[in-house]
């Protein structure tokens, strides 16, 4: 989001990079270490040597729906059939320790949706994710992984990932060589939810990662769909709860197709991720006031704007300065808080 707001504010990466040290100092921190051109060129070369491509926010190959997220990743590495990005996609995710029946259901659902010309997106995890990729391997499937494009996780899925390099597509936000860590998985999940018209959750326990994907899909305005199960089966509780909370109950591919129909026309709509601000920087007027209004509890940016009485652009600039100074934390739902010192 910081990247996006910098570009929106300064128009070009070069202008943004030039402004960062000063903004950070105004926000009360020291200037962040910026990578050199030579670092960047090395990273570009490394990815290209792996046979992968760069997808850049705002450029042609970047997934259109993903570009709509306010926290869309600026850069994604991609290896495989980039043509899959042009088709409408649905995510199928679920428990790693899913029942055999649920895996069979996920594989069948992915297959049937593939027959309807839909691309299946998942996370290449054990269980439901693997079954979903397998079901759609012949028709088109995309894996979004939490680590670098060249890292195989879980290890037993190396063969599956290589098959997707050849016959599908693999996307990674983290730099090549990155081993996935726990905090990377929610970042990965936002890409799965963000690049698809909707997400189907198959067997998920309460408080599982699949439910994070469901929440992210809902926050992005995408369709949340869940496969029900017996209340006697603990693995069905997460999905049943989602349905109680308003997710569409899914019994078969036709139910999915019906649910995501409203999104069909949006896949190829032109994306305009950047709307450069025409407002002038108007000094540091708002910074002190914004800082005073912030605390350790997340509050909506809208509320800060309202309470400060300052123009929206001035508040956004102040938040950007605090952010670059390492003093701002951004939360889901457009909320922000001060980093506790």
Q: Specify the stretch interacting with a copy of itself by CB under 8 A; choose among 192-200, 209-217, 244-252, 264-272.
A: 244-252
d(C-alpha 297, C-alpha 33), whole Å: 28
Among 61, 249, 307, 338, which residue sits at the site for a copy of itself (rule: CB under 8 A)?
A: 249
Q: Specify the stretch interacting with a copy of itself by CB under 8 A; choose among 6-14, 111-119, 125-133, 245-253.
A: 245-253
Helix axes 128-135, 100-115, angle to 10 degrees: 30
Cβ nearer to a copy of itself, comparing 234 with 295: 234
Does residue number 104 form part of the binding site for a copy of itself (CB under 8 A)?
yes
Among 106, 236, 260, 328, which residue sits at the site for a copy of itself (rule: CB under 8 A)?
A: 236
Cβ nearer to a copy of itself, comparing 76 with 200: 200
Q: Specify the stretch interacting with a copy of itself by CB under 8 A; choose among 78-86, 149-157, 190-198, 248-256.
A: 248-256
299, with CB counted inside 10 A (0-12, 13-18, 19+), is middle
Among 12, 59, 115, 252, which residue sits at the site for a copy of itself (rule: CB under 8 A)?
A: 252
- In 3D, which of 117, 125, 96, 83 has the Cα closest to residue 253? 117
Among 231, 270, 309, 333, which residue sits at the site for a copy of itself (rule: CB under 8 A)?
A: 231
Minimum separation from the CB atom of position 12 to a copy of itself (A): 50
Does residue number 82 form part of the binding site for a copy of itself (CB under 8 A)?
no
Among 81, 255, 285, 289, which residue sits at the site for a copy of itself (rule: CB under 8 A)?
A: 255
d(C-alpha 156, C-alpha 125), whole Å: 10
Do residues 315 and 290 make contact, with C-beta atoms less than 8 angstroms apart?
A: yes
Minimum separation from the CB atom of position 99 to a copy of itself (A): 9
């Amino acid at each position: 989001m910081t990247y996006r707001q910098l570009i929106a504010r300064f128009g070009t990466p070069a202008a943004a990079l030039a402004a960062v040290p000063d903004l950070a100092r105004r926000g009360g921190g020291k200037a962040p270490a910026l990578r050199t051109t030579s670092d960047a060129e090395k990273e570009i070369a490394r990815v290209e040597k792996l046979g992968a491509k760069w997808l850049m926010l705002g450029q042609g190959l970047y997934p259109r729906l993903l570009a709509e997220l306010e926290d869309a990743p600026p850069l994604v590495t991609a290896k495989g059939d980039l043509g899959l990005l042009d088709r409408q996609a649905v995510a199928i995710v679920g428990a790693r320790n899913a029942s055999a029946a649920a895996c069979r259901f996920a594989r069948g659902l992915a297959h049937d949706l593939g027959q309807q010309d839909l691309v299946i997106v998942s996370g290449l995890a054990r269980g439901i994710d693997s079954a979903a990729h397998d079901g759609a391997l012949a028709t088109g499937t995309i894996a979004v992984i939490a680590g670098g494009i060249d890292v195989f996780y879980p290890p037993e899925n190396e063969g599956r990932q290589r098959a997707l390099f050849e016959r599908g597509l693999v996307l990674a936000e983290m730099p090549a060589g990155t081993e996935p860590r726990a905090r990377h998985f929610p970042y990965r999940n936002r890409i799965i939810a963000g690049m698809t018209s909707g997400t189907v959750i198959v067997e998920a326990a309460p408080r599982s990662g699949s439910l994070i994907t469901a929440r992210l899909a809902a926050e992005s305005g995408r369709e949340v769909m869940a496969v029900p199960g017996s209340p006697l089966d603990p693995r069905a509780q997460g999905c049943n709860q989602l349905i109680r909370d308003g997710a569409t109950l899914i019994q078969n591919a036709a139910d999915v197709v019906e649910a995501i129909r409203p999104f069909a026309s949006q896949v190829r709509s032109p994306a305009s991720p950047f709307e450069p601000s025409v407002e002038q920087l108007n000094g540091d007027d708002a910074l002190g006031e914004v800082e005073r209004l912030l605390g350790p509890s997340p509050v909506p940016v809208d509320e800060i704007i309202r309470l400060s009485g300052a123009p929206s652009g001035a508040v956004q600039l102040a938040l950007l300065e605090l952010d670059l100074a390492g003093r701002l934390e951004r939360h889901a739902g457009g909320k922000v808080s001060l980093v506790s010192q």
